[in-house]
Structures are given as structure tokens and as C-alpha cells.
């Protein structure tokens, strides 16, 4: 039995955890609450099709369930969940993109050498496909901080919790990633200072 959305709305994250540990059906509240944003995050970080993102999310929620007893109440639940989903997504992405693992993955010398295309004119709006194309050119450690900061709207502290790195490292990676992007796309306003 899945707990109704109405019952879930009245519960905060900590109550959902407590009730889930007592009665499995309440775990569906976590899934209902976080499914859409986590699927969006998985698609942004891995660029996989919807069905594959749903598989990654299912695997992540299995891991969340298995580790629910070990949740540290001192952490923000959303950061803890994002960390598990992030690890699952990155693991999946690495398996899929490892050289020689995916037969339809072609070697693109220009992309992997880091040579950017000429930047678009400043007055041209950057569409989502162009944005993700630019993000895909960055090393994963830069891509993940930019996605978490500017597309998932997380604070430095939350990103630190998700990636298990110090806040200073988060700030440094964001700064370096923004500099790398500035050479690729003049006028890309989505990554403006926040």
C-alpha cells in the first residue's frame, strides 16, 4: 500500500524517516517528495534517456532504503539523498563512458582535447542543448558543482554535503569551472554570480 500524497504532505522529512522505519509504506513519501527533482538532476549530470534515469533513480532509492537506519539527523535529508543519487548517477555514467565500454560512443578528439568551439555572440541566448553541450566538455568535478549550484540551486554547504568535499573546495571548483566556461560561451548568464 502506498501512502497517499495528502498524508505525506503533512509530514516533514524527519517524520517520514521515522515512520518509514516503522512502516515501509511511508517510504513512498520520500519517493513522491524527491522523485521529480532527482530525475531532473540525474538527467542533467548524466544526459541519459528518461528510462535510464528512472533505472538509476530506482537503484538509488534501494540504496537509500538500505541505509536509512544510518541517516545522520545532523545532516539535511535532501543533501544526504542527493549524495546517494549523485554517487549512483556518477557510477552509472562512468561505466557507460569508460573507453571501449559503450560501442556507440565515438572518440571525439576535439572534445576530449578540451578545444572549445568559438563562443556564440553575446546577444544570442543559449538554449538548453548548447548549455549541456558546454557542460559536457568540462571535467566531471567541475560539471557536478555547476549543476548543483546553478541548476539545482544548492548552497555551498549543501554541495559540500552531497560531494563530501570542503566548502572551500566547492568554491574553488565553481570558480575554476566558471572560468573554463567563460572561454567557451561568452554571455552565458545562467552561471552569473549568485
CB 92 within 8 A of CB 48: yes
Q: Check residues 158 and 183 and name the one with the higher pLDDT.
A: 158
Cβ burial of 194 (10 Å; 0-12, 13-18, 19+) is exposed
What pLDDT shows up at residue 8?
86
User: Binning pLDDT at 50, 70 and 90, where does residue 111 land?
Assistant: very low
- Write b or e for each residue in 160-186: b if 16 or more Cβ atoms lie within 10 A of its Cβ, otherwise e: bbbbeeeeeebeebbeebbebbeebbe
- pLDDT per residue as tens digits for the range 132-175: 888 888 888 999 999 999 889 999 999 998 999 999 999 999 99
Statement: residue 77 has pLDDT above 70 = yes
Statement: residue 56 has pLDDT above 50 = yes
Statement: residue 64 has pLDDT above 90 = yes
User: Binning pLDDT at 50, 70 and 90, where does residue 98 land?
Assistant: low
Tell me the percentage of the chain whose pLDDT exceeds 70: 78
Most confident of 18-32, 88-102, 118-132: 18-32
pTM of the model: 0.70
Statement: residue 100 has pLDDT above 90 = no
Statement: residue 36 has pLDDT above 60 = yes
What pLDDT shows up at residue 185?
61
Amino acid at each position: 500500500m502506498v501512502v497517499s500524497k495528502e498524508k505525506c504532505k503533512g509530514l516533514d522529512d524527519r517524520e517520514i524517516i521515522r515512520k518509514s522505519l516503522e512502516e515501509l509504506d511511508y517510504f513512498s513519501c520520500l519517493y513522491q517528495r524527491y522523485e521529480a527533482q532527482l530525475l531532473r538532476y540525474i538527467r542533467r549530470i548524466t544526459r541519459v534517456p528518461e528510462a535510464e534515469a528512472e533505472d538509476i533513480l530506482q537503484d538509488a532509492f534501494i540504496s537509500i532504503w538500505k541505509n536509512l537506519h544510518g541517516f545522520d539527523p545532523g545532516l539535511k535529508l535532501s543533501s544526504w539523498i542527493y549524495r546517494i543519487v549523485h554517487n549512483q548517477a556518477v557510477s552509472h555514467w562512468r561505466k557507460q563512458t569508460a573507453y571501449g565500454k559503450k560501442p556507440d560512443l565515438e572518440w571525439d578528439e576535439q572534445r576530449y582535447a578540451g578545444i572549445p568551439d568559438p563562443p556564440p555572440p553575446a546577444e544570442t541566448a543559449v538554449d538548453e542543448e548548447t548549455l549541456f553541450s558546454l557542460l559536457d566538455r568540462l571535467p566531471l568535478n567541475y560539471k557536478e558543482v555547476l549543476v548543483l549550484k546553478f541548476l539545482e540551486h544548492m548552497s555551498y554547504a549543501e554541495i559540500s554535503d552531497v560531494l563530501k568535499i570542503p566548502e572551500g573546495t566547492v568554491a574553488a571548483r565553481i570558480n575554476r569551472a566558471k572560468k573554463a566556461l567563460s572561454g567557451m560561451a561568452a554571455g552565458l548568464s545562467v552561471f552569473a554570480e549568485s
